[in-house]
Structure 1
Amino acid sequence: MNQTKRTSSLITLILWSCLFAVISSQAYSQSDTKKIGIGILIDGEEYRTSPFVEILKEEVTAVLGASYEVSFPDEYLISIDWDAEKGKVAYEKLIQAKEVDAIITLGVLSTLTVTEAKNFPKPTMAWGVVDPITQGIHMTPEGTTNISNFTFVQTSSNLKYDLNTFKEACNISNVAIVIDEYIFNVYQERKPIDPIIKEAGLKGKVIKGKDSVTEILAEIDTSFDAVYLSHLFKLKDEQIKVLNDSLVNRGLLVYSTDGKKGVENGALIGTITEDRYNIIARRFALNFESIFDGDANAKDLPVIINYESKIVLNASVSQKLDYLPKWETIFNADWVYDQSEKQTTVSLEHVIEEAIENNLSYQASTYGTLSGDEIRRLANSALMPSIEASVGATLIDQPTASRSFGTRAERQAFANAELQQIIYSERVFANAKVQRFLQDARVAGNEQVLYDVVYQTAIAYYNLLFARTQVNITKKYLESTKRNLEIAEMRENVGYSGSSDVYRWKSNLAKAEQQLIDANIFERQQMLVMNSILNREMKESIMVKDVDLTDGIYGGLATDGMAYLVEDPISLLIVSEYIVDKALIQRPVVQQYSAQLLALERQRKADSRNRFIPEVALSGGYNRVLARGGIGSESQSLNGVEIDPLDQNWNISVVARIPLFSGFEKQRTYQKARYDQLQTQSLLDQTKVDVEREVRSAVLDLASTSTNITNSREAMEAAQKNYEIVRDNYSKGRVSIIELIDAQNNAFESEQQASNAVYQFLEASMSIQRSVGNFSLLQTDEEREQINQEITELYQNQIRK
């Protein structure tokens, strides 16, 4: 028992000792935590509300907070109000302040004030160096300042980069560079921008950005073709918009350094970098960690920060200028105010309705059908009576009139009426019947053109969707390649690989950019096809709505009614037989040849009968003399009898006529009709064979594409997961670049195949409907449901057998 108490007391003593040690350690740690105060020098009050200041505080605190108590005293966040003299005083204040252990300058003027002082008793970091050489900061080959306690941030996006980007994208030659008035006054003496303009291969002039838009515009004459707008701190957004609009109205291309915001305010072009503030803030934080934790000197810290910038373009400004940059710029850039984004997306039903209304081929076919119907009516008109009336006058010589015994006057006016009516004519009767059959053939042909237009429209619609999907997939591939390039550069820095990987990814990046251009060009080509079908302007952009495979209107027979019925050979055969039977009845081209065959059969019978059946016709006439004059116009005496001239007469007759011999014309005509009939019958038989082959082939395509959707999606998911694993291993140096390239290409190709499988399925669906001669898109919901029910019942009945 005593032993137990001693053991318990010992354990209690140990626990109290551990607890005391922990508390003492924490107390010591807290008392030993070093405080770091950071002062910030900014050009103007505008910087105080910048999101970068808050991001900077968060990043530095996150990196150093575990070991240091970091503070950014408000009294040492000093604005120099764009005054260089105030800048010198403020910088001296930061140097003397005991609460400040390090200094950051944000802005061109603040940075210039510090660099001109050439006095860095405290670690100082700057963001705002325009040109290191002209500012007397000569970087070492290692990319450091070699100036004790001083370093700065030089981003890949700077004036030199911007001008080169502007020139390459828009092919400018003479640029007006507008910079803020304060910066202009500071740099006017040294003119550091002039060499940058010359190095870019441009002509240009630096213009002071005053607080008046009118004064700025007065400095920009017609010799310039472009304007580079730097940050104009004294101008509000409304003034910037007015300035941009005025420059664009002059036909000038405007580049804004305000990135997306500047482009949205009316500039044509700018560059954006995602997480730029975070990247720079993280560099400041890591520099502080190296200085305070690693005893590094700021002079040995890297200056350059490389990050990927992306061009952003204003679509409405581009349209206003009637100007587009180079292809690679168009396809790789982000667009604001893109008109295509504001366009109402059109559905498949909409474009088919538009095609039916506006397609020129269908219009021409419809007019031809209407013209053929007039031929049919013309043939029927021969069965109707023909009535003619005429009025005339004659003048004959006196001797003839005097010897006519009053039958012909010297001057005479008359009126005639004639009637013709076919009583029986095999030729006329047959022609009326033949033209009716031919019109049926024309109607069927016109319906076939309609179905062709519907099919072409649907395929063009799906091709446009496919092209747009390929653009999106290729963009993802491009971004993935950029990411892999960054990983390769990181691997090179840590020694996992050499520069060969970097060059390989740069080569792949160039290929990916070309693939994106090709994909965009293909999309535009498909848009041309769609516009030609819809009879739109070729340059018009069209936005099509994506399809949903669960919606029966896109598949009709192929989706709800058939897709699940072609999963095995037996059901495939059942469905094929049903569709073939439907196609041989409904297909317009079959109906067209059938109607032509009926016309030829009737014509052949007529030619046979014409050889021995006469034509019978009724004819009649009525003549009346309206007036007489001169010799022969009066009564004549013949053997003492007065004979008055006849004023009117009429006649009626029935005539039967049959040609006895016409050089074997009737026999030759009969034989020709017989051969024409045999030829058309052969064409009809061949058409039925072609239709059946087309239907069965379309059903097989549907069976293949319907299963391919699921398989290709599974392959895509597996390829993408594999790619993520391989890329992660590549970043850790576990696999080679060849394995990553193979995985990336496999993922890219599998995603393309998965998207292509959907559109192949939809095209197979439309092919079946075209081969049957009945599109679900032209049917009502009730008609579609009836067809689905028929197929389902047929399938169930066959299975029961």
Structure 2
Amino acid sequence: MKSNKILFVLLFLSFGLLSGSAQEKRTYKIGVLLDRVTAELSPLIEKLQNEITAVVGEDAIIEFSPENILVNDFNLEKARSNYNQLIAGNADIILAFGVLNNEIISPMTVHKKPTILFGAVNRDVQQLDLSKTSSGIENFTYLIESESYHDDLTRFKELSDFKNLGIAIDAPIANILPLKEIFDAELATLNADYRLIPFESVNDITSNLDGIDALYLAGGFFMTIEEKKILAQELITRKMPSFSVNGPSDVKLGFLATLQAEENLDQFFRRIALNIEAYVTGTPLSELPIYIDYNPRLTINYNTSDAIGFPIKYSLIGETDFVGEFRNVLSEKEYDLLTVINQALEQNLSIQSGQKDVDLASQEVKTATSNYLPSLTASGTASYVDPDLAAISNGQNPEFSTAGSLTLNQTIFSEAANANIAIQKKLQKAQQEDFNASQLDLIFDSANAYFNVLILKANTQIQVRNVDLTKTNLQISQQNFEAGQSGKSDMLRFRSEMAQNTQAMVEAINQLEQGFLVLNQLLNNPANLEIDVIDAELDEGVFEDYNYDELFGLLDNPSLREPFIAFLIEEAYRNAPELKSLGYSLEATERNIRLNGYGRFLPSVALQGQYNSTFNRSGAGSTVPEGLGFGLVDNYYTAGASISIPIINQNLNNINRQTAIIQKDQLDINKDNLELGIAVNVRNGVLNLVNQMSNIQLSKISEETAAEALELTRASYSEGAVNIVQLLDAQNNYLDAQLARTNAVYNFLINALQLERFLGYYFLLNTEEKNNEFRQRFFEFLNNQN
């Protein structure tokens, strides 16, 4: 809770000594009453000392001595004894913090020494009069914050709709405060059951989570960071929504949500110092304001909500802050660029379909080649002949007979078959090059999808920070309005900006999800598979051996740029699978032209053999009449050769030749157009890279400048020196500069890979040896140009 967080700071006073330096100033000895001290409270003491010194140092000398720092360790009698000790001792002002000290001091109507109380108690159980703006009690003031069990539970119910809530609170506090009465009433109103979990250690909580569907951490200020991490992780493992009274610091450790606003430590330190300054300069404590205003604001851990499958209600987006890295904590697989490319090449459905086209083209080659394979045919017949006819056939046509034959055909030479084989082989190679082009396209598409997700992640994080920035500016405009430095229109304008920026953040989150969907489709993953991508940096990870400095040097040198472009175009011509495919199609067409030209006069030569056998003769005419002088042959064979030359074929040969010539002309035109397109693409790719190279350097300068300009403009706006339009312009410039800076490297890598696609050669996927050969070819090309 906020008052507990305030207590967090004051605990450090036990270790420091703050004193003024001016002579003849009155010295005030400060006594401090604490419930507990932990080792993790020390880092903030220096900042608190500096603040008090800066505010009070001109008016008095302030001393914090160890003997006046008293801790009760949640012992009520010890708390009473500590208070009495300070009353009887040399303390001039008493600062009291914590539940037990609140129990001792709140009921008092007479205060013997000036006392400032931070009760560290939720306002729902405060014993102090909350209707007043000041204490009205001599020598006494107290500070009250806005936190409330009622507000927390109402919002938590709205978020998670819990039915059986666990409420964890420090055991000493549970023994002192009437929490059962409060929670009985609150949970009855929310139509839910609850279990109070008093704890001394984190194990007391984790061992009592069975049977509940959500946890409300209503205490835990003195838990260590490590203990809170253990508890948060256990809740995430159980997929259990959690809500903390301690503010965004707990949410950053893994708790789901809190309603407490981000603690403004500077504001708290200033309020402590101002109260002390007001008293030492003559303002009675009874007249000091008692409220510290923090606007309640829902904070949700994006990663925790993802991990527990907790849907964020868009109706709450406008009043919600998000913390987290916006990475997919549920991801079943994390991809780097090489993993994305390799899986896409192996599993992408489009590329698998393209491979089938190559396989089908190979089958066409086999079909064409099979024309030179022998053909063996077996046949059988059974005949019945009219008996009268059979009787006079002299045994040649018996009434009943069965016979069989084997026929062998073998092509020896055929120009048409030769041409078809050659054509199908060329078409198969063309199909293979088309497939290679599809692979190159897929590599770039996969890399583009990968970098697009990185860009969307960065955009989401920037949009979240922009919402936070707008929230800060809105607070400044509210302060200016209350101070009379600006009109209400400024505040309304920032509220409108807050709504617009929040919508931009929601859209960024959804676009990131869409980016993951596209990547899953390319990788042939289930659409709902949870994945994430690893960030890519120049000269790191898979790009560690990717020598960009050399590329920078070549493109940055005007005298080398044009020769380098000419070399890249030559390499692109040499590597382009599209050109190779056209080349094979041209060769196939030229072969077709030759076939329908002189090739049509080449003869076709074939061999044929046949073996015949009569299995049975019966009935009339089944035998040769006596005296004819010949017998019947049941088994015999024949063999022969054939040569054929087409003379006139309905003019189809001429028509086919003319058609092939037209196709060749068309392919030549397409080749010229493709070469021109490759040259243009390479030049555009180089120019885009030059742009991105400068963008990397200039965007860094632009972001730093925009950030500084925003800080100066915001400071001037808070002082009323500039108007809201100037502040909004500065904020929007900073937003644009952040997006440009974050995306600059990704855009450079995308453009580099796009240029490599035009070259038909990906450096990232080739060995260092191959890449060195590429460099050597350039140097040889350069030497030949001189």
Matches within 5 A, 1:738-777: 738-777=725-764
1:639 aligned to 602, 623, 627, which one?
Answer: 627
Equivalent residue number for residue 651 of structure 1: 638
Whether 2:131 is the aligned partner of 1:139: answer yes
Equivalent residue number for residue 118 of structure 2: 126
User: In structure 2, the residue corresponding to 1:155 is in which secondary structure?
Assistant: coil
Provide Cα deviations, 1:57-83, integer angstroms capped at 9, x if missing partner: 9847954686033235478432454x6
Whether 2:682 is the aligned partner of 1:695: answer yes
User: In structure 1, the residue corresponding to 2:407 is in which secondary structure?
Assistant: strand
Whether 2:398 is the aligned partner of 1:373: answer no
Q: What letter corresponds to residue 334 of structure 1 in structure 2?
A: V
For residues 50 and 420 of structure 1, do their structure 2 counterparts lie closer, same or farther at Cα, with a shift above 3 Å needed? same
Deviation at 1:397, TM superposition (A): 6.5
Distance (Å, rounded) in 2 between the aligned partners of 1:55 and 1:237 = 16
User: In structure 1, the residue corresponding to 2:694 is in which secondary structure?
Assistant: helix
Distance (Å, rounded) in 2 between the aligned partners of 1:730 and 1:337 = 32
- RMSD over aligned CA atoms reads 4.6
For residues 577 and 59 of structure 1, do their structure 2 counterparts lie closer, same or farther at Cα, with a shift above 3 Å needed? closer
Distance (Å, rounded) in 2 between the aligned partners of 1:712 and 1:401 = 105
Distance (Å, rounded) in 2 between the aligned partners of 1:197 and 1:510 = 33
Q: Is the 8 A contact 1:138 1:145 kept in 2?
A: no
1:93 aligned to 76, 84, 103, which one?
Answer: 84
2:408 aligned to 401, 415, 419, which one?
Answer: 419
Distance (Å, rounded) in 1 between the aligned partners of 2:39 and 2:541 = 50
Of 686-695 and 232-241, deviating more is 232-241
Whether 2:599 is the aligned partner of 1:599: answer no
Equivalent residue number for residue 10 of structure 2: none
Distance (Å, rounded) in 1 between the aligned partners of 2:769 and 2:460 = 38
- What TM-score results when the alignment is normalised by the length of structure 2? 0.80
Provide Cα deviations, 1:551-594, integer angstroms capped at 9, x if missing partner: 9969979x456543344666443333333333333211122122
2:377 aligned to 379, 388, 392, which one?
Answer: 388
Equivalent residue number for residue 546 of structure 1: 536
2:664 aligned to 664, 673, 677, which one?
Answer: 677
Deviation at 1:440, TM superposition (A): 1.5
Distance (Å, rounded) in 2 between the aligned partners of 1:27 and 1:215 = 51
Equivalent residue number for residue 31 of structure 2: 38
Equivalent residue number for residue 3 of structure 1: none
Deviation at 1:375, TM superposition (A): 0.8
Deviation at 1:503, TM superposition (A): 4.2
Equivalent residue number for residue 154 of structure 1: 144
Matches within 5 A, 1:298-697: 298-306=286-294, 311-313=299-301, 315=303, 318-319=306-307, 321-326=308-313, 328=317, 332-335=321-324, 340=329, 346-389=335-378, 392=380, 394=382, 396=384, 399=387, 405-406=394-395, 416-489=405-478, 491=480, 496-539=485-528, 540-548=530-538, 559=548, 562-567=551-556, 571-609=560-598, 612-625=601-614, 627-628=615-616, 630-631=618-619, 636-639=624-627, 641=629, 643=631, 645-658=632-645, 663-697=650-684
Distance (Å, rounded) in 1 between the aligned partners of 2:745 and 2:641 = 73
Q: List runs of 5+ in structure 2 lacking aligned partners.
A: 1-18
Q: Is the 8 A contact 2:427 2:585 kept in 1?
A: yes
Deviation at 1:607, TM superposition (A): 2.5
Q: Is the 8 A contact 2:597 2:657 kept in 1?
A: yes
Equivalent residue number for residue 5 of structure 2: none
Distance (Å, rounded) in 1 between the aligned partners of 2:571 and 2:147 = 66
User: In structure 2, the residue corresponding to 1:547 is in which secondary structure?
Assistant: coil
Deviation at 1:39, TM superposition (A): 4.5
Distance (Å, rounded) in 2 between the aligned partners of 1:239 and 1:590 = 65
User: In structure 2, the residue corresponding to 1:324 is in which secondary structure?
Assistant: coil
Q: Is the 8 A contact 2:255 2:304 kept in 1?
A: no
Deviation at 1:622, TM superposition (A): 1.8
User: In structure 2, the residue corresponding to 1:333 is in which secondary structure?
Assistant: strand
Q: Is the 8 A contact 1:40 1:106 kept in 2?
A: yes
Deviation at 1:371, TM superposition (A): 1.5
Q: Is the 8 A contact 2:232 2:254 kept in 1?
A: yes
User: In structure 2, the residue corresponding to 1:382 is in which secondary structure?
Assistant: helix
Deviation at 1:456, TM superposition (A): 1.1
1:68 aligned to 62, 70, 76, which one?
Answer: 62
User: In structure 1, the residue corresponding to 2:538 is in which secondary structure?
Assistant: coil
Provide Cα deviations, 1:25-71, integer angstroms capped at 9, x if missing partner: x99999986452524253xxxx3437459957984795468603323
Q: Is the 8 A contact 1:259 1:312 kept in 2?
A: no
- What TM-score results when the alignment is normalised by the length of structure 1? 0.79
Distance (Å, rounded) in 2 between the aligned partners of 1:767 and 1:516 = 30
Q: Is the 8 A contact 2:125 2:177 kept in 1?
A: no
Of 520-529 and 351-360, deviating more is 520-529
User: In structure 2, the residue corresponding to 1:450 is in which secondary structure?
Assistant: helix
Q: Is the 8 A contact 1:614 1:657 kept in 2?
A: yes
Of 602-611 and 231-240, deviating more is 231-240
Q: Is the 8 A contact 1:352 1:458 kept in 2?
A: yes
Deviation at 1:435, TM superposition (A): 0.4
For residues 239 and 694 of structure 1, do their structure 2 counterparts lie closer, same or farther at Cα, with a shift above 3 Å needed? closer
For residues 134 and 697 of structure 1, do their structure 2 counterparts lie closer, same or farther at Cα, with a shift above 3 Å needed? closer
Equivalences, count: 753
User: In structure 2, the residue corresponding to 1:301 is in which secondary structure?
Assistant: coil
Fraction of identical pairs, as percent: 24
For residues 782 and 302 of structure 1, do their structure 2 counterparts lie closer, same or farther at Cα, with a shift above 3 Å needed? same
Distance (Å, rounded) in 2 between the aligned partners of 1:214 and 1:749 = 45
1:710 aligned to 697, 709, 712, which one?
Answer: 697
Q: What letter corresponds to residue 672 of structure 2 in structure 1?
A: D
Distance (Å, rounded) in 2 between the aligned partners of 1:712 and 1:261 = 32
1:256 aligned to 244, 255, 263, which one?
Answer: 244
Q: What letter corresponds to residue 547 of structure 1 in structure 2?
A: E
